[in-house]
Amino acid sequence: MEIILDNTTVEREVASPADVLFIPTYVPTIEETVKASGGHQQAMG
């Protein structure tokens, strides 16, 4: 019974599409925020 509980926890962690989708969605968001902040303009100017 303990093994089944452990397996369920692992399956739940792996079957977390929200977490996997949130990570790649947050990466470009930071880059876009920096670009919108004018970081690129400062480097060029």
pLDDT in tens, 3-45: 555 555 555 555 566 666 655 555 566 777 777 777 666 555 5
In a domain, 10, yes or no: no
Supply the DSSP string of 24-43, one letter for each residue: HHHHHHHHHHHHHHTHHHHH
pLDDT attached to residue 7: 56
**Which tokens sit at 35?**
């670009």
pLDDT for 10: 52
Question: Is 6 a domain residue?
Answer: no
Domain containing 23 equals 17-45
Query: What is the per-residue pLDDT for 33?
Result: 77
When divided into structural domains, the chain yields a total of 1
pLDDT at residue 37, rounded to an integer: 76
Does this model's pTM top 0.75? Answer: no
Cβ contacts of residue 34 below 8 Å, gap of 6+? 40
Phi, psi of 15 (to 5 degrees): -85, 40
* Residue 32 counted as domain residue: yes
Whole-angstrom distance, CA of residue 38 vs CA of residue 44 = 10
